[in-house]
Structure formats: structure tokens, C-alpha cells
Structure 1
Amino acid sequence: MRLELHKIHITGLAFAEKTYTSGGTLFISKEEAGALIAEDRRFAKVELDLASPGESTRIIPVKDVVEPRVKLGSSGYFPGFFAPMEKAGSGATLVLDGAAVVTCGPIVAFQEGFIDMSGPGAPYTPFSKTYNVVLYVEPAEGLEKHHYEAALREAGLKLGVYLARCCSENEWKADEVQVFEKDNTFEETAKFPDLPKIVYVCMNITQGLLHDTYLYASDLRPALPTLLHPNEVLDGAMVSGNCVSACDKNTTWHHLHNPIVQALYARHGKEINFLGMIPTQESTVLDGKLRAVSMNLSIAQQLGADGAVISEEGYGNPDTDLC
């Protein structure tokens, strides 16, 4: 499976009459983008703002961060949300590298985050260095919080796809093409029979009550662990639906840039044989924890894994899963 990320390096933002890129600047039609989001009747108010590194700006309350992307030769991204339900991880993807859509709205008050674009708080978030298109929405009267979260999550993805799609439809040139290529586990094991076989178990918050993670637009909470090709997670298969404290959650941007997947990929064929990634649940009940552990172990054993790298999202209840 071969994935090509065609990256346009974004180094500036500005509102304009149409949406396109030129000279590293992402120009955005505020009217068109705002109207696109306002089509959703679940919103009573839609606002768009821009925030660039170094500005005296605080963005609050932050829900999610999404990198603008679109599949080349298509008009969508994030399978099941704004692309057909098909396997991610192959073909060519246009990436507005350095740009980000930041979704904001008062869903659960203190458990949302903030981004300082300058000052002493800036070094503590990677998004003080991105060029942020900030989407703030307020819910229609009577909209329940879980519907508000779903609407805002979908709006952020929709805006990210819109920005990248508009740029793909105008003149553009990639500043960088990043390639991720790996065959299936059996073919890779035949290539590298003497390398230790490593699987990555990625623990995800799946507690419900606005603490959710989505795989191919499906809530992971009631699902069983499965095996992903690493390209899938790097190409939009996973989406954050979490309203947990900002320092303890992965945004959608983090899934797209999963540093553990990238680090294992860099060692693949040299130091290790990277078998793939198992996205797994962090259940709130004992039977759910035991079920996930059993399935994770079963998948790893059937692959013949020699070891596993495990990452945890959140704290408290998930700590018992890790133990």
C-alpha cells in the first residue's frame, strides 16, 4: 500500500473573495466558507476568524483541531464522514501543511482547551505554530450537548475538506511529497524474516458521554479491536470526538500525525518489522477491559508479534487498562 502526501507549506492566512493558495498564503472566502457551515440548522451562530503564530491571541474554548486535506482525484476526505466508505491509506492526498481548522464552542465548559499564539503559554501546544482557521459555533436552542458535539465535529471536518478541495481546484504545486509504503504483514515478514515483529496498540478514549473516538465514522466504544495498516490512520481513518481535558486527549490532527506510527515506520525494514496498528478501547467496565485485552493479545499472537508498543490516551480510568 502506497500513500503520497502532497504538501503545500502554508505560511500565511488572509480572507479573500475566493479560496486558494498562492506563495504559501492560504486565501479564504469567509462568506463562502461561513455559508457552507451555516447550512447546518443545528447552529444558531457561525463565526470564522484567523490566528497566526506570534499574534497576541488566545483561542478558547477549543474542541478539536483538523488539518485541511482532500484526496486528489476526489472531492472528499475522512471516509464515512465526508468521503465514501472505503479504505483509507492509498493514493494521493493534498495536505495544507501548516494550516489547521480549530473548532470552538462551549460544549462542556472547563474541559475544553485553549491555544495561545504567543507568550508563555505558546510553547505548550503545537498549534501556536500553525496558521489557524478558527470556527466558532453556537448551538440552536434546545440542541442537546451530544448533538452539539457531533455537529461541531462534523463542521470542522467539513471546513477542512472544503479548504483543501478549493485549493486543489485552483493552480497549485506541492512543496513536498511524503511517501509511506508498506505491503501486507505476510509479505513484509517474508522480506525481513530476521527482524523483530512489532505491533502498535493504540489505546483510545471510548467512555461515551462526549468521550469518544471514531474509526471510519463508527464509534469505537461498542466495537472490537481490529488491525489497521499504518497508512490508514495517517490518511483520515480516525477522528476525535473527545471533550475530555485538553492535555489528556488526541485531536484529529494528532491522529493524522500519529508520532508513534511515524517513528515505527522510520524503523521498519531496518531495526524492526512494523506489523500494523491495533486501535483499541478504554472501557469503563471490567468485562470491557478484559475483552479488549483478550482481543489485542489474540491479534498480536496471530500475527506472530515479538513485541508491542502501547500508547494510552487520557488518565485515571484508562490507567487500569494499561496496567
Structure 2
Amino acid sequence: MKLTLEKIIVEDLVFGDHTRMNGTTLMVNKEEITKKIKEDKRIVSVTMDIVKPGESARLFSVRDVIEPRVKVEGAGEVFPGLVGSREPVGEGITKILKGSAVVITEKTVEAKAGIIDMSGPGAAYTPFSKTNNLVLDCDPSSGLESHQYEEALRLAGLKIAQYIGEKCQEVTGQEKVLYETLPMEEQKHMYPELPKVGYVYMLQSQGLQQDTYVYGRNAKQLMPTYIFPTEAMDGAIVSSNIMIPCDKNTTYHHLNNPMIEDLYERHGKDLNFCGVIITNMNVTLKDKVIASDCVAKLAEECGFDGVIISKEEYGNTDADLMMNCRKIEEKGIKTVLVTDEYAGRDGSSQSLADADPKADAVVSTGNANEAILLPPMEKVIGSIPSADRGVSGTEGEDPCKDSIQVELNAIMGATNELGFNKMSAIGC
């Protein structure tokens, strides 16, 4: 598969008379966006805000972040199976509004802190402090159950990201990047002198509202399978979970997975990047065993010499990570694991809930229990979670007016396990 990502650079975001690009400024029309969202009768009203890098603004209860984009050449549409047809993607040309994002906030009792600070010390921990963000706060219709509201929110964000992309598709991008992966047997022999490396991409799928969708299908229903890396880059994988903000993969993360981008960057230089195995993370031991057996078998059949394994979230998923590691290593394939840690605020506690002697090459994306004091912001957007959801006042009782103390696990993407962050660990 051969995919060109054409990047339209967005340096500013404003409300305007029509949704369009004006130079490097993205203009969005409130009435157009509201009308599009309210096509879904489960949403009765929409509040919109714009927040920009450096602004004194804090977002709470962020559910998902999506990068606006549109396919202009090739089969399928972005986010296939959800807002587009379920045709395979990963080929052709897709235009991206780089530097912008659609941010969805939520209003449920399950809402986690989901903080994005656009300035101050907290801004350094989230990539979304560097994007121009259109924030959508959608009110559900009366009597709507939480899983129905979740679906409506998920589709609203995807539809608006696609809609904005469509309205800007005539603009010529400032940068074009070509990615290509050949069919497996051809790819394996492309660079015979280099190690054949694959990527095991573990997707959150542990229960209601802890889901990931692949071509519109819930990942919990999937068996481990091979995909072309460009499929992930082209919107085949979509987030749908309310798990811990610091290490949940938003749709933005899936679209811009640095594991895949960096493997492509090194492809043909010191490794032969041969493809991606996606797998789910299960609840029961039986399902964990079956899935990890299949992952190891696939890695062997693909002829990988080594694999990188990433996961999402923590705790129960640590068992899936270690099973995948051990069984792949037993096939004679080297593994490198990427995970964050929950080692207590002082870093002295056990980092993971499971371990294995074969997991001897591990990259840490940081300690999610580390605490940080966030100063007050002039603008606060979104529903403020209760203290048991990750936020506590330290200089007062009002998170809108006072400083708040949080662990990094409350900040969107702070310890993201795709490496989409600046956190790691320093050995003593």
C-alpha cells in the first residue's frame, strides 16, 4: 500500500462566516457545525469554544481528540465503518489540517479528569497544548443512556473532523509525505541484509466504554490480525474509551502513531519495517491466552526478527503485555516493550501489575503517579470531575479559580504508551 499524507498547515483557528481555510487560518462556522452535529437526535445542543496554544485556558473531561482530514484520492473515506463506508483505507492521498484538532468533552458520571492546559506547567505534558482546538460540548437528549451518549459523542467528533477536512480539500498542502509497505512476501525480501521488524499494536477493548474500533467494528470482537501500517495512519483505528487520560490513545494518537512514523523513518536504514499486528486486550484469562497465542503465531508466520509492543492503559493490560512478550520471545523473536509506570508518587512502588523475565528490554514513558500543581486559568471549559476522578483543590475548593493538584494520570496524553510525549525514566 502507498499513502501520501498532504499536510495543510494551520497556524490559527477562528470562527467565521464559512468553514474554510484563509491562508494559514482555519475558519469554522458555528451554525454549520451545530447543524451537522444535531443531525443525530441524541444531541440536543452544542456549545463551541476555541482554545489556542499559550492561552490561559484549561479543558476538563476531554473524551477524544481528532485531527481534521479528508481522503481526496484512493478507496474509502476517513474513519471507515463509522462515518464512511467500510472500504479498506491506507492508499491514495489524504489531506490533513496539521496544527488543528477537534476536542470532544463529556458530561457523564464516569468522566475522568481529562485535563488539557494550554499554558503553564501542565501544557508541557500534553501534545494538545500545541494544537489550535475546536472544543465541542454536546448535551444529550433526555433519558439517553450512557453508552448511547458515548456513541453520539464519538460520531460527532469524527463527523466534524471529516466535515472540516472536506471543506478545505481544495487547498494545496505545504508538505507531502509518502509511506509505502509492500505485500508481506515482497516486503520481507526488500532489504535482505536488514532485520525484519514488526509492530504489535495492542488496542483497548476491556468492556463497556473501554473500546477501540477498527473499520467500525469493536476491537473486542476481533482476533489478532495483520494490517498495513498505512491503514492505521488513514483512520482505520478510532478511540472510544473513558479510561485514564494520561495513557489512553485518542483518535489523534492513532492517526499520528509515532511508533509507525519512526519505524518508517528507519525503514531501509537499519531495519526492514514489515507491518503491524493489531490485537485486543481482554478481560478473562482464557481470552488473554488465546489472543497472545495468536499474536505469537502471526509474528512467527510474518517472519519477524524483532517486534516492538505497545499497550494502552495499565493494570489488567499488563498481563496481556507480558503474555505477548513471553510467547513471542519463545518463538525466537526479540521484543521491546513500551509502557508507562504506576510506581507511586515517589517512584518506589512496583511499576507494573505483571512482569516476566523475558521482558528485559522495556522503554518507560513515565510515572503516571507523579504529582503536579496546576495554577488557575482565566478560562475553564468542560465538566469538572469530582476528587475521586483525579482532581483536588489545594489552595481552595473551586478548580475554576484556584490551583489544583493532580497526578499526571489526569492530563491527556502525559504518559502515552505510543511514545507521543516527552516523559521517560532515568535510572539511578
The two structures share one fold, judged by TM-score above 0.5: yes
CA drift of 1:73 comes to 4.7
Distance 1:108 1:235 in 2: 33
Is 1:123 paired with 2:111?
no
Count the aligned residue pairs.
321
Secondary structure of the structure 2 residue equivalent to 1:168: coil
In the alignment, what sits opposite 2:63? 63
Letter in 2 for 1:165: E
Identity of aligned residues (%): 46
Distance 1:44 1:35 in 2: 11
In the alignment, what sits opposite 2:34? 34
In the alignment, what sits opposite 1:312? 311
In the alignment, what sits opposite 1:20? 20
Structure number with higher relative contact order (C-alpha < 8 Å, ≥ 6 residues apart): 1
Secondary structure of the structure 1 residue equivalent to 2:226: coil
Query: Any conservation in 1 of the 2:181–2:274 contact (CA below 8 Å)?
Result: no
In the alignment, what sits opposite 2:208? 209
CA drift of 1:108 comes to 4.1
Query: Mean Cα displacement is larger for which, 105-114 or 261-270?
Result: 105-114
Distance 1:248 1:255 in 2: 12
In the alignment, what sits opposite 1:233? 232
1:103-252 matched pairs, under 5 angstroms: 103-169=104-170, 172-252=171-251
Secondary structure of the structure 2 residue equivalent to 1:191: coil
Higher share of residues assigned helix: 1
Is 1:300 paired with 2:277?
no
Query: Any conservation in 2 of the 1:112–1:244 contact (CA below 8 Å)?
Result: no
Letter in 1 for 2:157: G
Distance 1:222 1:233 in 2: 18
Moved over 3 A (4+): 73-76
Query: Any conservation in 2 of the 1:225–1:280 contact (CA below 8 Å)?
Result: yes
Secondary structure of the structure 1 residue equivalent to 2:187: helix
Residues 71-124 of structure 1, C-alpha deviations (whole Å, 9 max, x = no match): 015894211112221111110011000000000111344424021111121111
Secondary structure of the structure 2 residue equivalent to 1:319: helix
Distance 2:108 2:162 in 1: 23
In the alignment, what sits opposite 2:52? 52
In the alignment, what sits opposite 2:271? 272
Q: Normalising by structure 2, report the TM-score.
A: 0.73
Secondary structure of the structure 2 residue equivalent to 1:55: coil
Query: Any conservation in 2 of the 1:122–1:128 contact (CA below 8 Å)?
Result: yes
Distance 1:107 1:290 in 2: 34
Secondary structure of the structure 2 residue equivalent to 1:13: strand
Distance 1:106 1:240 in 2: 18
Letter in 2 for 1:58: R
Distance 1:262 1:77 in 2: 18
Distance 1:284 1:76 in 2: 32
In the alignment, what sits opposite 1:99? 100
Letter in 2 for 1:199: G
Query: Any conservation in 2 of the 1:112–1:243 contact (CA below 8 Å)?
Result: no
Distance 2:178 2:73 in 1: 17
Residues 154-203 of structure 1, C-alpha deviations (whole Å, 9 max, x = no match): 0000000000101115xx22111111122112112222122111111111
Distance 2:208 2:248 in 1: 15
Larger Rg: 2
Letter in 2 for 1:149: E
Letter in 1 for 2:312: E
Distance 1:227 1:61 in 2: 34
Query: Any conservation in 2 of the 1:69–1:94 contact (CA below 8 Å)?
Result: yes
CA drift of 1:54 comes to 0.9
Secondary structure of the structure 1 residue equivalent to 2:189: helix
Give the superposed CA RMSD. Answer: 1.3
Letter in 2 for 1:14: V
CA drift of 1:236 comes to 0.4
CA drift of 1:247 comes to 0.8
Residues 258-299 of structure 1, C-alpha deviations (whole Å, 9 max, x = no match): 111111111112211111111111101001100111110111
Distance 1:231 1:22 in 2: 29
Distance 2:73 2:282 in 1: 39
Query: Any conservation in 2 of the 1:108–1:243 contact (CA below 8 Å)?
Result: no
Secondary structure of the structure 1 residue equivalent to 2:168: helix
